[in-house]
Amino acid sequence: MAKKKYTNARPANYRKKALSELKAKYPYYNLKSNLFIGVPFLGGLFLTIWEINIYRVTFISVYILLSIWVLTGVLITPLFRKTFNIYCFNPYTPERSPLFFHFLFNIVSFGGIVIFLFMWTNQTLNDHIKIVKELPVVSSGHLAKSRHSCGDPYVNVIYKNQEKQLVFPCGTEIENYNNVYVEITKGLFGFDVITNQTLVEGDW
Look up the CATH number of the domain holding residue 175: 2.40.50
- CB burial of residue 174 (10 Å; 0-12, 13-18, 19+): middle
CA 117 – CA 48 distance, rounded (Å): 10
- Residue 90 and residue 190 in one domain: no
Spell out where the chain has E strands: 131-142, 153-159, 162-167, 179-186, 192-199
- Residue 21 and residue 117 in one domain: yes
Q: Which domain holds residue 50?
A: 14-124
- Residue 119 and residue 28 in one domain: yes
Percentage, residues of the chain above pLDDT 90: 53
Taking only the tens place, the pLDDT of each residue in 50-105 is 999 999 999 999 999 999 999 999 999 999 888 887 777 666 666 678 889 999 99
pLDDT score of 148 more than 80: no
Domain end (from 124, 159, 189): 124
- Residue 119 and residue 136 in one domain: no
Q: Give the strand pairing for 162-167 and 192-199.
A: unpaired
For residue 18, what pLDDT band results from cuts at 50, 70 and 90? low
pTM: 0.80
Domain end (from 75, 103, 124): 124
CA 89 – CA 97 distance, rounded (Å): 8
pLDDT score of 163 more than 50: yes
Q: In this structure, are residues 142 and 153 in contact, taking their beta carbons and an 8 Å threshold?
A: yes
- Residue 118 and residue 143 in one domain: no
The domain total for the chain is 2
Q: Return the HEC string of 12-25.
A: CCHHHHHHHHHHHH
User: At 2, is the secondary structure helix, strand, or coil?
Assistant: coil
Find the mean pLDDT for residues 178-192: 94
- Residue 96 and residue 183 in one domain: no
pLDDT, the chain, mean: 85
Q: In this structure, are residues 33 and 87 in contact, taking their beta carbons and an 8 Å threshold?
A: yes
pLDDT score of 3 more than 60: no
Give every CB contact of residue 187 below 8 A, 6+ residues apart in sequence: 58, 122, 123, 125, 126, 193
CA 171 – CA 174 distance, rounded (Å): 9
- Residue 99 and residue 29 in one domain: yes
Domain end (from 124, 140, 155): 124
- Residue 107 and residue 167 in one domain: no
Residue 28 inside a domain? The answer is: yes
The amino acid at residue 65 is: L
- Residue 161 and residue 95 in one domain: no
Percentage, residues of the chain above pLDDT 70: 81
Between residues 12 and 87, which one has the greater pLDDT? 87
Which residues share a beta bridge with 105?
Answer: none
- Residue 147 and residue 175 in one domain: yes
CA 77 – CA 70 distance, rounded (Å): 11
Between residues 152 and 46, which one has the greater pLDDT? 46
Find the mean pLDDT for residues 138-167: 87
- Residue 29 and residue 110 in one domain: yes
